[in-house]
Structure 1
């Protein structure tokens, strides 16, 4: 297997685009080569088989979605109240939504994971770790709410993102901001500002 990290990343980014556009059935080495604009056979030099490609696409999605450390640090400036949670949730929904092809590819990977135990294991571990990291960040930061608050926000906002990216006319774009704010207010009731 080839080891050029930049080429591997480019191939995985191309695979994300193919998954988002064509679905899991359309994800072939040839389709990845075409999308990446590389010679035919390049992807097969980097990935042992289709399962390997799918698994590495799962890793790549999370690499690309990681928030900038400065954003995480800056997210805790000022009061740690419901308004701060609302601000962070707006940032999260916008960041994930702006990586449309990545999120759609992740949905394809989730469906494919129902048939591929190794992919299911990878996604389960990665998503569980992500949820745990979000809970840890929330609790250690002193933001209001508890672990259940984080889980409920995760569940509600993930489905809002699915609607936004797959059926955008269900909740028109001009409603998204208000919906995110409403979700936080319903999950985390109480005064907007702490004293």
Structure 2
């Protein structure tokens, strides 16, 4: 019984992500989530205390789904530790996030909604801060070139590149985006000594 409930909750949260991406936060209702998840009307209200709870869980779920799988992490850990590899990892990251278009668009909607909902802002701030510092820690452990500041600058740079790609995809071609990711890695790590 618990497994079925977990699967249904995941389906509802995934439905919420799709609704957020398509209709924005104003379109996120329990009824819309039930319809998107293909469950009987009233189901979402049995799983979530209120809309804030649903918004918060949708934000957490986006981050879960954006995590690389174990094989990708293992391959990354076995890679060389140079700028070329770092740039390839960042291009792969941009691709993985872009492939989950609805998730990233939902996350943008959640960020906008967080400007009006202090509890959601608190949860998203904690989640984003934890994700950013986990990236810094992973980077420092990996021996890739650059320091914590380079990681933070890449995080900010690549986030806007992804926004551009998902919202106005014809501004830059795929080749231009890949070139810019490579250039960002090279420029942000060139003047810094290798940590190893």
TM-score by length of 2: 0.93
Q: Please list the CA deviations of residues 72-93 of structure 1 after superposition, one character each: whole Å capped at 9, or x if unmatched.
A: 2211224201011111101100
Q: Distance in 1 between matches of 2:80 and 2:23?
A: 45
Gaps of 5+ in 2: none
Q: Which segments of structure 1 move beyond 4 Å, counting only runs of 4 or more?
A: none
* Residue number in structure 1 paired with 2:102: 101
User: For 1:117-147, what per-residue CA distance to the aligned partner results, in whole angstroms no more than 9, with x for missing partners?
Assistant: 1111111111101110110011111111100
- Does residue 1:14 correspond to 2:15, yes or no? yes
In structure 1, C-alpha distance between the alignment counterparts of 2:82 and 2:37, rounded to whole Å: 45
Q: Which residue of 2 aligns with 1:165?
A: 166
Residue aligning to 2:178:
177
Counterparts of 2:142 and 2:160, CA distance in 1: 25
Q: Deviations over 1:138-166 (max 9, x none)?
A: 11111111000100110000000000000
What is aligned with 1:155? 156
Q: 2-side partners of 1:78 and 1:99: how far apart?
A: 25
Structure-2 separation of matches of 1:56 and 1:190: 41
* CA-based RMSD: 1.7
Normalized against structure 1, the TM-score is what? 0.93
1:186 correspondence with 2:191? no
Moved more, 119-128 or 171-180: 171-180
Structure 1: 5+ residue stretches without partners: none
CA distance in 2, matches of 1:11, 1:63: 15
Aligned to 2:41: 40
Aligned length: 191
User: In structure 2, what is the Cα distance between the partners aligned to 1:71 and 1:133?
Assistant: 16
Q: Counterparts of 1:83 and 1:132 in 2: how far apart (Å)?
A: 23
Q: Distance between the aligned counterparts of 2:138 and 2:75, measured in 1? A: 13
